[in-house]
Amino acid sequence: MLKVIKTGLIYLCSVALAVAIVMLVKFTNNYGLNPKEVYKVYLDGKSVGNIANKQELEEYINEEQKELKEKYLVDKVYIPTGVDIQKCTTYEKQVLTAKQVHNLIKEEKPFTVKGYKITIKPLTDEEEKITINVLDKKMFDRALKSVVEAFVSEEQVKNYENDTQPEIKDTGSIIEDIYIDQDITIKKGYISTDEQIFTDEKLLTKYLLFGDLKDDQYYTVKEGDTIDSIAYDHKLATAEFLVVNPEFTSSNNLLSVGQQVKVGLIAPIVDVVVESHTVLDQESQYKTTTEYDANMSAGLQKVEVEGQNGVDRLTTKLKTVNGETTNVVIVNRDVITPSVDKVVKVGTKVYGGATAPIMSGSWAWPTISQYYISSYFGYRWGKIHEALDIAGSGEGSPIFAAGSGTVVTSQNKGSLGNHVTINHGNGYYTLYAHMHSRLVQVGQTVEKGQQIGTMGHTGFATGTHLHFGLYKNGLPYRDGIPMDPMILYR
Ligand SMILES: [Zn+2]
C-alpha cells in the first residue's frame, strides 16, 4: 500500500514539473525571446537561409553584377533565376549574414552573361571534347584564323580566299583546300561566370595553339646560335620553331645575341588541314654498284666512280596536318639532273682464312624511284622521329632490303604495323614499318635490293608511307642506337 502511494506521488510530481516547464517555455517565448522579423531567402523553392536585412543582400548582388560587367565589358549580367525573398516572423535563432547567403546562391547557381559556347568535337573516341566560352563570336573566328596562319602564311590564306594564287612557274604550291578537321559547333546562350570565358583574342589563340595557357618558354640567344641549333636543342624541328616564332620566315634568318625566342612545344587543339598542288625539287639518291676483283685483297676497296645525287622535280598532291605531311601522291616526276652511280671495286682475295668485311657505303634505296620524303630523322614536337618517312610510291609498291642480311623480325604488331627488321651483320639493323604486306620470314637471308614487302599504312600511320629506320649495335627500340638512315646514302 505504502509503495503504491509513493509511486503516485512521484507521478504527480513529474506531471507538475512537466507543466511548469511548458509554462516556462511559453512565458519566455512570449515575453523573453521576441520572435524576429527576418527575410527567408529561397532558391528554386528551397530555403537558403535567413537574413536580417534584405537590402544588404541586394547590394551584394548589385555589386557582383557591377564587377562582372567590368570584368567582361558587358552591359548585362544575369542574376541567378529562382531567387525569392520573403519576409517572415520566426523564432529560429540562426540568421546568416547577407554575404553568406549571397555566396551560397552563387555556389548553387552562378551569375551568367550572354555569349557563345563553342564545342570542338574530337576526331577519336579517346579524346575528350573541348568547350570554349566566348562573348564575341568574331573574336573566336579571328583566333582560329591566327592558328591557321601558324601553318600557312597570311598572304597564302588571302590569295587562297580571293582566288589570286600565283601560278607555279618552276616550283611552288597552290592551295586547293584549307579546313579544320574537327567539327566545331557554336551555340548562343547564357554562360556561367564561374567557367573560363575568353575575352582576349591573343590568349584564346595561345590556348588553341598550345593546348594550355602556361607561360611562354623563352630562350636567350647566345653567340654562335642558329635557328637550327636552338630548335634542335629544344627538341623542335626547324619548321616547328618557325611556327612558334612567326617573326622568322626561314632558318637562315639572323639572330642577335641576347634576343629572346620562344621554344615551347605546341599541341594544337584543332587540326589545320592544308591540301595543295605542290611542285618541288628533291635530291635523288645515287646508287652504288660494286664490282668484285679477285686480284685485290679482301678488305680493300677503291672508288672507281664518285657517286653524285641528282635532282627530281616532283609534282605532288600534298596533305599536311598542322604542318606535318600526312599524305602525298606524286603526279609527275621529271629528272632535272640525273644521279651518277657510284662504282666501287671491292677486293675478294682472301689470305689465310680472313673474312671479307661487309661493305658499308653500299646500300640500296628501300623504295622505287618515285618517292617523296615526308619526314626526316629528327625532332618532331619534343619527340625524336627515329626514321625516314618515305611516301608517294603508292600503296602496294615494292619495299626492298637496303642491304644484305638476316631477317630478325617479321610481324604485324603495335604501332609499327606490318614490319620487318634486318640484321646486316656489320652492326647495323634496318627497320621497315607500316607495310601493306610482308614477303619474308624470320631467319631468312635476304640480298641487298631484294623485295621484302609492299608499302602500306598498317599500325599507327596517318598515310601510306614507309617508316624506314636504321639502328646501330642492337635491335630497334631495344638496345639499338637510332641513326639517320640518310647516312647510308652519303
Ligand atoms: Zn615515321
CA of 269 to the centre of ligand 1 (A): 22
The whole-angstrom separation of Cα 45 and Cα 47 is 7
Cell representation of residue 139? 573574336
Q: What is the pLDDT of residue 15?
A: 44
Residue of 450, 449, 437 lying closest to 411 (CA atoms): 437
Q: Is the pLDDT of residue 23 over 50?
A: no
CA of 389 to the centre of ligand 1 (A): 5
Q: Is the pLDDT of residue 25 over 90?
A: no
Average pLDDT over residues 417-443: 95
Point out the least confidently predicted range of 275-279, 295-299, 388-392, 394-398. Answer: 295-299
Q: Is the pLDDT of residue 1 over 50?
A: no
Q: Give me the CATH code for the 272-489 domain, please.
A: 2.70.70.10
CA of 123 to the centre of ligand 1 (A): 21
Q: Is the pLDDT of residue 213 over 70?
A: yes
CA of 375 to the centre of ligand 1 (A): 7
CA of 433 to the centre of ligand 1 (A): 8
Residue of 130, 126, 128 lying closest to 117 (CA atoms): 130
Give residue limits of the domains in the chain: 36-109, 113-170+181-208, 272-489
pTM attached to this predicted model: 0.70
CA of 470 to the centre of ligand 1 (A): 12
Q: Is the pLDDT of residue 304 over 90?
A: no
> pLDDT of 63-120, one tens digit each?
999 999 999 999 999 999 899 999 888 777 788 899 999 999 999 999 999 999 999 9
The whole-angstrom separation of Cα 84 and Cα 57 is 12
Q: Is the pLDDT of residue 136 over 70?
A: yes
Q: Which residue has the higher pLDDT, 43 or 211?
A: 43
CA of 185 to the centre of ligand 1 (A): 33
b/e burial code for range 468-479 (CB count within 10 A of at least 16 → b): bbbbeeeebeee
CA of 115 to the centre of ligand 1 (A): 43
CA of 128 to the centre of ligand 1 (A): 26
CA of 385 to the centre of ligand 1 (A): 6
Q: What is the pLDDT of residue 33?
A: 63
CA of 459 to the centre of ligand 1 (A): 11
DSSP 427: S
| Residues whose beta carbons lie less than 5 angstroms from ion ligand 1 | 387, 389, 467
CA of 465 to the centre of ligand 1 (A): 8
Q: Is the pLDDT of residue 142 over 90?
A: yes
pLDDT band of residue 53 (cuts 50, 70, 90) is confident
Cell representation of residue 374? 615526308
